[in-house]
Amino acid sequence: MIMTNNRCPWFGIVAASLLFLVTGTFAQGKPNILYVTFDDMNDWVGVLGGHPQIQTPHIDRLAERGVLFTNAHCVVPACSGSRAANWTGLNPVNNQVYGNGQRIERTMPDAVMLPKDLENQGYVTFGTGKLFHGNNEARFTEYGPTYNKWWPITSKETKILKSAIQTGGPYVKHYIPRLGITLPLNKMPRDRNKGSTTIESFDWGIIDRPDEEFTDTLCVNYTIEKLNQKYDKPFFLGLGIYRPHQPLWVPKRFHDLYPSESVQLPEIYQGDLRDVPEIAQGFGRYAVTSGSHKTTVEWGQWRNAVSAYMASISYADAQLGRVLEALDASPYADNTLIVVWSDHGWHLGEKEHWGKFTGWEPSTRVPLIIVPPKNAQPQGFKPGTRTNLPVTLLDVYPTVMDVLGAKKRKDLDGHSLVPLLMNPNAEWDHPAITAIGRGTWSIRDSQWRFIQYFDGTRELYDLENDPEEWRNLVQDKQFIGVVKRLSKHLPVDNNWKHFVRYGEFKAIVPTDGSPILLYGPAESIIYESKDVSKKYPDVVKKIEAYLKENKISRQRVNIN
C-alpha cells in the first residue's frame, strides 16, 4: 500500500489537544520553532545508549525537557532521500528521492517545503548550515553561513589538492604548509571512487585549529545571533550541524576526550553476513558511502576512526549546547518548539560496513527529540518522557504543524506524533518504514525488523533478543506469522512494473513504457548512482527478452 495521511485512532484526543494549544498560545503569539538536524549521527548518544563511552551532555539534558523517541528511524538512509522526505512530508514513493542519486529539486521542483509552508502562514524563516541536500538559500526568508565539510582547509587549498589529483599528484603525501598536515590524515589508500578527481572524505585525524575555523561553529554563531534579535512575526530557525559527517575533523579538545587506545569498538560477529542474501552482502561490503571495513582494519585505523567519530559527535553536541543556552537566555525560551534529529545513522564496522545506506539498525536508527513550547504543552505531556514505539522522520512535519497550530496539508504521508507527546504508550499501529533504493524496504516495529530487497530476498531480526541483528530468522517457520504481518506494511510503488536482479546489475522497468533503467555492476547496483543502460545494451536486451519470453507478472525478479 502507498502510505497516506490516514486519520489516526487518536484523532479526537489530538483535536482536543490542539484546541488547548491554540488557546494557550494566542496570548503569547504563535510558537516559534528551533529546528536542528545533525548529519550522519547514529544512536551513539548518551540517552540512547548506543556507545557506553560517548559524552553528549547537551543532547541528554534536552531529552529531559521533552520526549525522546528511542525507536526513531530515517525514511532513507542517505542525505538526499532522508532530507527530501523530512522537508516535504512525502515518502520516496511520492517524491521519488530514494538516495543521493536523486534530488528533490529535480524530481519535484514545485514541492512545498516545511519552511515555505510556514512562511505562507505568517512565519519568518531562517536557515544555516546543511539543511537540505542541495540548494538551501532559496527556501528561506534569510540564509546564514552554509557548511563546508573541508574546513579548516580553505577553498584555495582544496583547489590545489584537486589540481594535484587531476595531474596525478601523490594525494597521500600532499602537504598543506599552513596547517602542517599531510592528507589524508589516516594515510589510507582510496578504495571507493577510484580514479576520481575529488578529495577523499573517508578521513579522520587531528587538525589543531580554533573552533571558528570549523563551519559548524560559524553556523551556530549565526543561530545565536538570530536568537538575540527581535521579531514582529513568529520564526522558524533551522540549523544544520554537519558533523559527525566525514571527514571526521573537529577541534583537538574533542579528540582528547577519546584516546584511541582506550575506545571500545563495536561488537562484531565474524561471519555475520553468511545468513543474508547475496545482495545484502553487497550492501555490507561494498565501499559506497564510505571506505571498506576490510581496508580500515588492515591499515590499523579502526580505533582511530571510532575515536574520531565519537569526537565529532561530542563537538556537534557542544554546538547544540551553545544554541540551547542562547535560547534559554532569550525572550523566546517559553514560546519555542524544539525539534532535534539526525538524517540517518552510520555503521562503524557492524555488518562489515562503513557508512550508511543499509536496511540495518546502525544505518536507520536516529536521535529524535521533541520539546513542546513551555506555554503551550499538549495535555498529558511530561518532560523527560521516552517512547519505544516506532516512528520515522516522516512524522516530524505533521507533528510540527499540529504543535504550532498551523494549517496542515492533506497530502502529508507521516503521522502526527502529538498522541505520543501526550502519552508515550498511546495506541500506535505505524511501523517505521525505510527505503533503501527503489524496491527495497526495511520495516521496524517495537520488536522486529523485516527487510525485503528489490529481488524478493528477505531478512528478519528479533531486536529484543538479537539487538545486533546477527541471526536472520526469515527461514524459521515459527516466524511465518511475523513476516506475513510486517509484509502487509510494504509500500507498493506503482511507478515500476519490475525490479530485476541480473548478476551484478539492477534493472528497473517503468510502468509507463519508458526505457529500462540499469544500474551496476557491483556498487552501483546498490546506490543507483548512474543509469548505465546505454553502456550495457546487451544486458538490457537480455533482461527484456527474459521478461517477455517468461511472461513475468510479479514485480520482483531474480535472474540467475
Report how far residue 363's alpha carbon sits from residue 360's, in angstroms, rounded to the nearest whole number.
6
Domain boundary among 452, 470, 487: 487
Tally the residues of the chain: 560
pLDDT at 438 over 70: yes
Query: Cell 525485503 identifies what position?
Result: 452
More confident position, 356 or 193: 356
Is 74 tagged catalytic?
A: no
The reported pLDDT for the residue numbered 25 is: 38
Of 51, 79, 344, 415, the catalytic one is 79
Banded model confidence at residue 136, pLDDT cuts 50, 70, 90? low
Q: Are residues 503 and 520 in the same domain?
A: yes
124-129: strand order across its sheet: 142-143, 124-129, 235-241, 32-38, 336-342, 368-371, 67-69, 385-387
Which of 156, 158, 150, 122 minimizes the C-alpha distance to 213? Answer: 150
Mean pLDDT in residue range 362-376: 97
Residue 456 falls in which region: left (phi positive, over 0), alpha (psi -120 to 50) or beta: left
pLDDT at 524 over 90: no
The reply to whether 306 falls in a domain is yes
Q: Are residues 192 and 226 in the same domain?
A: no
Q: Which segment of 44-58, 72-86, 280-294 scores lowest on mean pLDDT? A: 280-294
pLDDT at 533 over 50: yes
Residues 107 and 95: beta-carbon distance below 8 Å: yes
The reply to whether 29 falls in a domain is yes
The tens digit of pLDDT for each residue in 389-419 reads 999 999 999 999 999 999 999 999 999 999 9
The reported pLDDT for the residue numbered 234 is: 98
Q: Are residues 399 and 462 in the same domain?
A: no
Q: Are residues 390 and 338 in the same domain?
A: yes
The reported pLDDT for the residue numbered 171 is: 55
Which of 418, 419, 413 minimizes the C-alpha distance to 432? Answer: 413
Which of 85, 82, 45, 41 minimizes the C-alpha distance to 63? Answer: 45
pLDDT at 22 over 90: no
The tens digit of pLDDT for each residue in 470-498 reads 999 999 999 999 999 999 999 988 889 99
Q: How far is CA 450 from CA 43, 206, 368, 461, 468, in A?
A: 20, 40, 22, 7, 14
Is 73 tagged catalytic?
A: no
Residues 395 and 437: beta-carbon distance below 8 Å: no
pLDDT at 27 over 50: no
The reply to whether 3 falls in a domain is no
pLDDT at 49 over 60: yes
Residues 37 and 131: beta-carbon distance below 8 Å: yes
Of 58, 73, 133, 430, the catalytic one is 133
Which three cell numbers mark 52? 557506553
The tens digit of pLDDT for each residue in 442-466 reads 999 999 999 999 999 999 999 999 9
The reply to whether 4 falls in a domain is no
Q: Are residues 394 and 514 in the same domain?
A: no
Domain that holds residue 453: 434-487
The reported pLDDT for the residue numbered 13 is: 40
The reported pLDDT for the residue numbered 156 is: 87
Residue 62 falls in which region: left (phi positive, over 0), alpha (psi -120 to 50) or beta: alpha
- State the number of CA atoms in the 13 A half-sphere of 549 facing the CB: 7
pLDDT at 174 over 90: no
Residues 120 and 234: beta-carbon distance below 8 Å: no
Domain boundary among 396, 416, 431: 431
Q: Are residues 360 and 275 in the same domain?
A: yes
Q: Please give the single-letter amino acid code of residue 155.
A: S
Q: Please give the single-letter amino acid code of residue 494.
A: N
Predicted model pTM: 0.93
Mean pLDDT in residue range 366-374: 97
The reported pLDDT for the residue numbered 478 is: 97
- Domain of 331, CATH number, reads 3.40.720.10
- Domain of 448, CATH number, reads 3.30.1120.10
Q: Are residues 183 and 265 in the same domain?
A: no
The reported pLDDT for the residue numbered 100 is: 86
Mean pLDDT in residue range 42-47: 98
The reported pLDDT for the residue numbered 169 is: 57
The tens digit of pLDDT for each residue in 203-241 reads 999 999 999 999 999 999 999 999 999 999 999 999 999
Report how far residue 69's alpha carbon sits from residue 47's, in angstroms, rounded to the nearest whole number.
10
Q: Are residues 502 and 364 in the same domain?
A: no
The reply to whether 1 falls in a domain is no
Residues 6+ apart with CB under 8 A from 484: none
Q: Are residues 481 and 500 in the same domain?
A: no
More confident position, 199 or 163: 199
The reply to whether 206 falls in a domain is no
Average confidence score pLDDT of the chain: 91
The reported pLDDT for the residue numbered 10 is: 36
Radius of gyration (C-alpha) of the chain in whole angstroms: 23
The reply to whether 288 falls in a domain is yes
Q: Is 175 helix (H, G, I), strand (E, B) or coil?
A: strand
The reply to whether 65 falls in a domain is yes
- State the number of CA atoms in the 13 A half-sphere of 280 facing the CB: 23
Report how far residue 347's alpha carbon sits from residue 337's, in angstroms, rounded to the nearest whole number.
31
Q: Are residues 239 and 180 in the same domain?
A: no
Whether residue 491 has a cis bond before it, omega within 30° of 0: no
Q: Are residues 182 and 303 in the same domain?
A: no
pLDDT at 7 over 80: no
Report how far residue 141's alpha carbon sits from residue 138's, in angstroms, rounded to the nearest whole number.
8
**Total domain count for the chain?**
4
Q: Are residues 81 and 194 in the same domain?
A: no
